[in-house]
A and B are shown apart, each in its own frame.
Chain A
Amino acid sequence: MSDQQSSIGSGAKFKGKITGAKALEINGDVEADIDIGKITIGQDAHFKGGIKADLAVISGIYEGTMQAESIWLTDTSRVSGEIRYQSLQMDRGAALNCRVVYNWDDTDQKSKKSKTKDKTVETSDEIIEENIENE
């Protein structure tokens, strides 16, 4: 049971601050500020507050400011407030009444570019090596 992920069950009401969680599943009524890896807000859940996450899967009601690398809004989701994302998936039926911001991160873009450069260098090296072998 010790490896089980944290969850707020349906019918439960929570208010407070949660830190250190890697993953959290919410099926109840929660008012909190959370900094987390993965958060799942279930179909019958109601969440109010700020979220910072790598991945947020929303199927219930969300009110607040959310910043996540990846956001998935399922067909039953209801969102108000603001969402900031790098990658967003929205299913048909998802209801948004909020500000939606694509979170352009310059440093991230640069690092991605330099990675692609490295790859090109590697390939050309490989080609050269192949050529040498062929000769």
Chain B
Amino acid sequence: MSEITYISKEVSVVEGVLTAEDSKVVVAGSFSGNINANEVILEEGSKFEGEVDARIIVIEGDLKGKVKSYQLKVSHTARVDGELLTNSIEVASGAEIAGSISRVS
């Protein structure tokens, strides 16, 4: 049985609160709300609005809101609007970021 939580392309989640502290969350559809997990991947084509808090975060889709992670990767397909809190960031050429980037204190 897989520990992974997957929100597929056709799915939309409203007012969602998802907590999966030891496991991985992958969003391919649309999600509005909060995610708290070990690893979060927002796939290309996904839409996220809200707050993500995870050890590792990969953003490949659209994100509006607040991100807090130890390690953050923003891919070339990403479009980010908001506040990024991270200790380690990797941004690919082509990524669109608007907002602030700061260290996790």
Interface residues of A (CB under 8 A from B): 1-22, 24, 27-28, 42
Assuming A19-B12, A20-B12, A27-B1, is B7 touching A13 (CB within 8 A)?
A: no
Check A16 against B14 for contact (C-beta < 8 Å). Answer: yes
Check B8 against A5 for contact (C-beta < 8 Å). Answer: yes
| Interface residue? B29 (CB, 8 A) | yes
Interface of chain A, main secondary structure: loop
Q: For the complex, give the distance between the alpha carbons of A98 and B2 in Å.
A: 30
Q: For the complex, give the distance between the alpha carbons of A123 and B104 in Å.
A: 76
Residues of A close to B7: CB separation below 8 A:
6
| 8 A Cβ contacts from B37-56 to A | 37, 43
Check B6 against A17 for contact (C-beta < 8 Å). Answer: no
Residues of A close to B33: CB separation below 8 A:
16
Assuming A2-B28, A15-B16, A17-B16, is B11 touching A9 (CB within 8 A)?
A: no
